[in-house]
Structure formats: C-alpha cells, structure tokens
A and B are shown apart, each in its own frame.
Chain A
C-alpha cells in the first residue's frame, strides 16, 4: 500500500522527472497515466486535482503537489532512500542552477520542436470540431495558444529558428559542463542528472548533427550511464509511445 499517486504522461520531459526521482528513491507509487494526446489533463476530474490542467501532479496522503522540479526536491526530502542532492550547499546551488536553466531556457526550446514534430501531428487528423472544443476547455490561456500552434502548425519560422539555435547552444554548454565533474555540476548523481536526462535522452536522435559521439562524447556517455540505471529502465518501461521507446537508442553496441 502506498499513499503516493503520480499523475503523469510518458516518461519524458516534466512527467519523467518525478517518475524517475521516485524510482531512484525506491518509492512505490500509484501510477495514473494521463494521455496528453487525448487531452486527459483537461478533464474536469483531473482539474479538481490540478486546476492548471498540466502534468505532472502528485498526491501524498492529502497533500497535492505540482511543478516537476519542485516535486523532485520534495520527493528527495520526504522519503528515505538514496540522497539525490549533494550535501555541499554550493554544489546544491549548482544543481538548482542547471535545473532552472533546463526548465526555463533549454527544455522549452526542445519542447517546442517536439510539439511541432510529434504532439501536433499526432492529434491533427481528428475531427476538427472536436479539436476546437478540446482547445476551448484548456484552463491556461498560454496553453491554449500553444495547443493551437501545435495542432494547426502555426509555429513561425522565427520561433522555430530560435528554438533550434537554443538547442544547439544548450547542447554545447551541457557538453562543456559534463567535462568538469563526474555528474552534472557535481560528483554525485543528483536531481540535475534526472532532470537533464528527461530533456536530453532523445537529443542524439532529434539533433543527430549536434549531439553525437564525435561532437559530444561526454554527453553521450552521461546519457548512456543514466540509461543503464535500473530506475531508468524501470521508468521508461512505463512508456506507451514512440516518444519513450526511442530511449533504447542509448543501448551500448
């Protein structure tokens, strides 16, 4: 019996962060899969849990938590199991710095391209009236705009250009950082690695010219090392789409 329930989509991006953190801690949780491509996150039932209509959300007893990165810090503190933050305060700062850089700068650009490539095309063919109705019930105005752009293919060239440029810069900065310590920002495996893996595991496939064994050997090794961890294997096995199954690309030859 567990009093933890996680509402999540695929092990990827924001959903995958608490999934992997819980798995690393060895915390058993009720997994409540919401199909983002079916707009499950805007169902009235789910809005009672998270009125913003975004994924992930977690309940622990009668507590309700949102915001994937903050949930990870909570998971690390609230449960026994391996420590996922460094003990040195300055190393903790570095871990948090990288998570913010991912969450606010790097990941949104990668995500925009993902929505353009996967999310939009996956739902576009449905009945136009149904789609319009689905968009109508999205609670956050910014998200309504994002969905419209994805569904109707309205991302501007300029937007996509900036996202691509940021992805390339992000890949370079990450590679440089990974030459400095054993893990990201420090010598211990932390939440920053978990966060970064969720953003980065597919980069060798989506950005093959920029993220590969020749140009970014440290990043490739880092991704493979994380992929090999039992918690990662267990978590990615919960995926139901090609988004998650791509992870096997990281299998060592």
Chain B
C-alpha cells in the first residue's frame, strides 16, 4: 500500500491519521497537491482519481488500484484490518457517522476549500507564469476541477460566496457543539471526529469567529489533535504549517 498525500490538512489528514489509527503499514510519499503534483504520479490513473468529487485529495494505491475520496478510503481501511474502530457499532450508529461525514464532504469541505484557496492558494497560483500554469492544467482531466483551478488563479472570489462559506463553518461548529455530550461526536471516537477535525483545523485561524464561545468544540479539537494518530500525521508536515495548505477542493453544490 502506498499513499501519496499532501500536507496533513483536510482530506490528506483524514487518510494519514486513519492509517495510523488502524496500524496499517503503508509507504508514505509527500507530494505538493497545491502544485498539481497529483496529476503527475507514476500510477495507472482510473476514473476514481481523475473524477474524484473531492478535488485534489490524497491517492492511495492498493493492489495496484489508485483510490481517492478520503471518507470511503477511511471506511475501507477500517474494514480491512481487525475490528471496526472508525465505524464501529450497530447499523444506526454507522448511519449516523456516514450522514455526518456526508455533511462534511458536501457542505463543509467545499466551503473550507473556498476560504482556504482565497487566503493562500490564489497568491501562489498568481505567481506562476502563464506557460507553467497552462502546463499544469493541461494535465487535469476533469473540466470542472480544471475550472476551479482557473478560478482560483484569476482570483474569482466574491464577498457573497465567502460569507456563505463562513456561515457553513459557523453552522458546523454549532452542530458539533449540539452533538457533543462526551469526549467524541458519537460516543466513542470515530471517522466523524477525524473527518470533521481535518476540515476544520485550518478554519481556527481563517474563521476564528465561528469558534467564539464554543469552548467545548475547542476542547474537542484539542482531544483529536492529541490522538497519537493525528499527532503523528501532523508531524509529517513538510512546511511546518499544514493548516495553510489548501489545495483545490470539492465544488460548491450547484443544485440545491
């Protein structure tokens, strides 16, 4: 098993920490997702990587197959070794975790990416020469993903959109607060904690107001960060500030 991952943030952090949680051995290779290196790997690309709804996430190669979409990779890792720990419990609890993660993927991840791209990625892309940028995007198979790269470089961000995205982060923090009764979101630690933390970590500095007065959520984030799996993933950062690494993410829902 080999994992090509970006900085331990967002989708990459979920998969890196999930591997450590499960104690599954994998070869790790850091790549720069923000420079489009995911489109230049020595792997056989299938539709799952080329058309991943997640955007520029990590790629796990297992049994020769290149896999994408961090939550479902997390499910696979959990089902591959030992008892279920990331998605343990009865069918109803598993439904709760899946629906929660789905909310993160569909609503929170696109919003966080928009905010993170605006704050960090656009400047990096603007510094690239036209030729280099054209060479990068020429390698991207999915039209919509290529379009999002182009929008970031052009600085196509609106105040209205940013406000909507910040509102989604605020709602997510409220939702965690409402759900937390013990240490973790659904009783025991689960993929829901990991996935939510991975997308929110960078929002602490980018949308600090959403955490105002939510001490229980801040404390929960501290508990996730202290898990050995998460600490180990964070220690693999190349830049030292993974919370600033925001590769192009999922699309904001275009239909309801």
Contacts and interface: CB of A to CB of B under 8 A. Distances in A.
B106 A104 contact: yes
A90 B65 contact: yes
A145 B98 CA distance: 27
Interface footprint category on B: 20 to 34
A70 B99 contact: yes
Interface stretch (B67-75, B150-158, B180-188, B220-228): B67-75
B167 to A, nearest CB: 10
A101 B95 contact: no
B94 A108 contact: no
A181 to B, nearest CB: 13
A159 B72 CA distance: 29
A89 B79 contact: yes
A66 interface: yes
Given A92-B79, A97-B69, A105-B53, A146 B98 contact: no
Interface stretch (B116-124, B198-206, B248-256): B248-256
A142 B106 contact: no
Contact of B75 (A71, A92, A176): A92
B63 A93 contact: no
A159 B79 contact: no
A163 B91 CA distance: 35
B76 A89 contact: yes
Q: Is the interface of B mostly helix, strand, loop or mixed?
A: helix
Nearest to A71: B95
Contacts of B143: 165, 169
Contacts of B76: 89-90, 92-93
Contacts of B232: none
Contacts of A173: 47, 51
B256 A162 contact: no
A188 interface: no
Contacts of B144: 166
A65 B95 CA distance: 8
Interface string A8-22: 000000000000000
A220 interface: no
Contacts of B95: 65, 70-71, 73-74
B185 to A, nearest CB: 16
Contacts of B47: 173, 176-177
Interface of B: 47-48, 51-53, 62-63, 65, 67-69, 72-73, 75-76, 79-80, 90-92, 94-95, 98-99, 102, 105-106, 143-144, 250, 253-256
